[in-house]
Amino acid sequence: MEAAMMENALPVSALGEAAKGLFADVRRHGARVVVEDENPVGVLISAEEYEKMVDFIEDIRVEQIAAERIAHSTGKGITMEAYLKKHGMTAEDLEDVPEDEIG
């Protein structure tokens, strides 16, 4: 689970017995809308759904950066294969690099 998410963690036990059933329901269904006077006031989502959303948003950000770079490209870029060859590396070499070191 993402470290930033855990910084704001609150144990279900701190919310009482009723919350345990509520969060079991959220895990089962993925999300629940919280209403007050028939108006939505919040959404409870499972940790799995939250992580999917964060990953999706990050993918969109990467796509936006790539599109901006392509739009402002001078045409002097090189392919990944050419870069790896220039530095004496292969795609397999990158498999062992931790995800947080790529960027």
Q: What is the pLDDT of residues 16-45, one digit of tens each?
A: 777 788 888 888 888 888 888 888 888 899
Cite the DSSP H helix spans in the chain.
3-7, 17-29, 47-71, 80-86, 91-94
Give the amino acid at 25. D
In this predicted structure, the answer to whether residue 1 has a pLDDT above a threshold of 60 is: no
| Mean pLDDT, all residues of the chain | 84
Distance of alpha carbon 8 from its chain centroid, rounded?
16
Residues 6+ apart with CB under 8 A from 84: 90, 91, 93, 94
Cα end-to-end distance, the chain, whole Å: 20
Q: What is the mean pLDDT of residues 77-103?
A: 84
Residue 13: exposed, middle, or buried by beta-carbon count in 10 A (0-12, 13-18, 19+)?
exposed
